[in-house]
Chain A
Amino acid sequence: MDNLTLWGLFFAVGLGTYLVRLSFIQLHGSTQALLERSKTILMLLPPAILAALCIPAIVFQRPTTEYQLDWIQILAGLVTVLIAHFSRSVFWPVVGGMLCLWLARWLISGNAV
């Protein structure tokens, strides 16, 4: 993507995000029914999107041209899930997962040498 397209992209997302933030504040009073109806989908979307975003990126090697599993990344993902289950922050699970990734790669490259 060239720079101009990227700026167009950023403005479009920025505007869209701002409109989402403003939505109910601006339409206050006339939207209670709509909110009630869309509540289920609003609740289902985050887990669906997050899972679809991260699962392939963790399971497969990049760049993805075929189904090439990356076991070290999968292990790091499992460590992240485990830590995230007990800590409410995003920070510590990511740190744990990355440490696991580096450690496992270092061990394997050490064995190879």
Chain B
Amino acid sequence: MHFSNYRQQFWEGVRDLLPLVSGVLPFGLIAGATGVALGMSPEMIMGMTVLFYAGSAQLAAYQLIQDNAPFVIIVLTSVVVNLRFAIYSATFAPLIAPLKARYRYPLAYLLSDQAYGLCNVPEQLNRSTGERLWYLTGVATSMCVAWILSVLLGVALGTSIPAHWSLEFTIPLAFLAMLVSTITSRLLFIVAVVAGLGAIAFQLLPYNLGFTLAVIAGVCCGIWLPGLVRRGGQSNG
């Protein structure tokens, strides 16, 4: 009886993920088709997809490969774009950490934005550990399958998409849309503006140095600005 209950949780996870495929599919199509446009072979694109299992890092890597950025910068940037997974890792740690290694390692690989989003609604948090684990497994596996199939479809369609459609422009647009959703406070808005202006100002520096400098400028601004404002407020008052 317990087992059938868990199986039900698994399929509930799969079912809840299905509507999100509408957002995953175009993203995967872009990731696949852009790889083809950059002249990469299908097995390379799919290898990259499976190794990364992170769409935004994959798009970031494409852009930096296109910009002829140095190896280290591309690796660091792609991993840093994925730093949000550290937050997911911390969130799921109480659930996944006690498991045996053979379950723990695959589940860690399967963590995604979608899994995080679906598994942390109040309705899920009130359930038992076993139920939550099976729900997470359902969501995370189906997400992984949906992602890989979407990229595969993008690779298949890639060559038939005309160059003058400028499909590669969807990459900065997708980042821009993600940027808007990450800006949840005035401070984060200022950080984004500083980093964006920095990237423009340092655009022509070699080795993609401008990108790194812009990110550092934005983050430093976000760290120091609240302190400066507070001190300024005190001296005025």
Interface residues of A (CB under 8 A from B): 1, 3, 5-14, 16-18, 20-26, 28-29, 31, 35, 40-60, 64, 66-67, 73, 76-77, 80-81, 83-85, 88-91, 93-95, 97-98, 101-102
Cβ–Cβ contact A58 & B47, under 8 A: no
Complex Cα–Cα for A88 and B177 (A): 9
CA distance A73 to B16 in the complex (A): 36
Q: Which single member of B65, B166, B215 contacts A45 (CB below 8 Å)?
A: B215
Task: Give the chain B neighbours of A44 by CB distance below 8 A.
Answer: 188, 191, 218-219, 222-223
CB of B6 closer than 8 Å to a CB of A: no
Q: Are A42 and B57 also in contact (CB < 8 A) when A28-B94, A48-B215, A51-B193 are?
A: no
Q: A23-B90, A26-B104 are in contact. List 20 more A-B contacts (CB 8 A).
A: A9-B65, A13-B79, A20-B82, A20-B86, A23-B89, A25-B89, A25-B104, A26-B97, A44-B222, A48-B215, A49-B195, A50-B176, A51-B191, A51-B214, A51-B218, A52-B215, A53-B211, A81-B180, A89-B23, A94-B173
**B181 and A21 form a contact (CB under 8 A):** no
| A6→B172 contact, CB < 8 A | no
Interface size on B, residues (CB 8 A): 87
| Known interface pairs A20-B85, A21-B108, A73-B169; A48-B214 also in contact (CB < 8 Å) | yes
Residue among A5, A18, A31 making CB contact with B71, cutoff 8 Å: A5
List 23 contacting pairs A-B, 8 Å CB cutoff, sorted by A.
A7-B44, A9-B75, A10-B51, A13-B57, A17-B53, A20-B86, A22-B105, A43-B188, A44-B191, A47-B179, A49-B60, A49-B80, A50-B176, A52-B196, A53-B172, A54-B175, A60-B203, A64-B203, A67-B204, A73-B169, A80-B180, A81-B176, A98-B169
User: Is B176 a contact of A102 with CB atoms below 8 Å?
Assistant: no
Q: From A60, which residue of chain B is reached at the shortest CB distance?
A: B203
With A44-B188, A44-B218, A50-B175 in contact, do A31 and B90 touch (Cβ < 8 Å)? yes
**Shortest Cβ-Cβ A-B pairs, 10 listed:** A14-B51, A48-B218, A28-B97, A55-B196, A54-B175, A84-B180, A93-B177, A16-B79, A57-B172, A24-B90
Q: How far is the CA of A97 from the CA of B175 in the complex (A)?
A: 12
Cβ A17 vs Cβ B52 within 8 A: yes
| A103 vs B84: C-alpha distance when bound (angstroms) | 36
Minimum CB distance partner of A28 in chain B: B97
CA distance A9 to B74 in the complex (A): 8
Residues 164-213 of B contacting A (Cβ, < 8 Å): 165-166, 169-183, 188-189, 191-200, 203-204, 210-211
Contact with A along B52-93 (1 / 0, CB 8 A): 111001001101010010010011011111111111111011
Interface of B is mostly: helix
- Which residue numbers of B lie inside 8 Å of A, CB to CB? 22-23, 26-27, 40-41, 44, 47-48, 50-54, 57, 60-61, 63, 65, 68, 71, 74-75, 77-90, 92-94, 96-97, 104-105, 107-109, 111, 165-166, 169-183, 188-189, 191-200, 203-204, 210-211, 214-215, 218-219, 222-223
Q: Measured between C-beta atoms, what is the minimum distance from A6 to chain B in Å?
A: 6
The answer to whether B198 touches A77 (Cβ under 8 A) is no
